[in-house]
Amino acid sequence: MLMQSTEMQCVAVSDAARSTLGAFLGGLILVGALVWAVRLGMKVRRKEPRRPRPDEQPQLPRSGPVQEVRELREPDEMPLAADRSERLKPRNLHASGSKRSENQDIPRWNTGDSSSFGSGGADKT
């Protein structure tokens, strides 16, 4: 009986030792992969251009920061070619798809006209 108990303890100890050794080896592999990744990152970083020094950074203009401009825009029509067979080239097109509107008055809602379906607004039937 004593012999059987000792054998079971040896088997239990060897299983514990194997699992500990497996966890240790797994940790070593993980640490090795992390060290490799850091070294690779350092190698890639060395190849990149250097960061600009503080005196090379963009500076604010003397007039101060640029202020926000609000304006109404309207679509800019596509210019038509003089002849249908003539092909438009990029230099014939405008820089953006919109232009400044002649009328800069902001449209407002009419009073009592802005109710939506089911909001309890005035019934217009």
pLDDT digits (tens, 9 = 90+) for 43-87: 999 999 998 898 998 888 888 888 888 888 888 777 676 777 777
DSSP 125: -
What rounded mean pLDDT belongs to the chain? 79
For the cut 90, the answer to whether the pLDDT of residue 114 exceeds it is no
Kindly provide the residue ranges of all beta strands, DSSP E only, lying in 3-117, ordered along the sequence: 73-75, 98-100
**pTM as predicted:** 0.37
Please determine, for residue 30, whether its predicted confidence score (pLDDT) is greater than 50.
yes
The whole-angstrom separation of Cα 111 and Cα 23 is 74
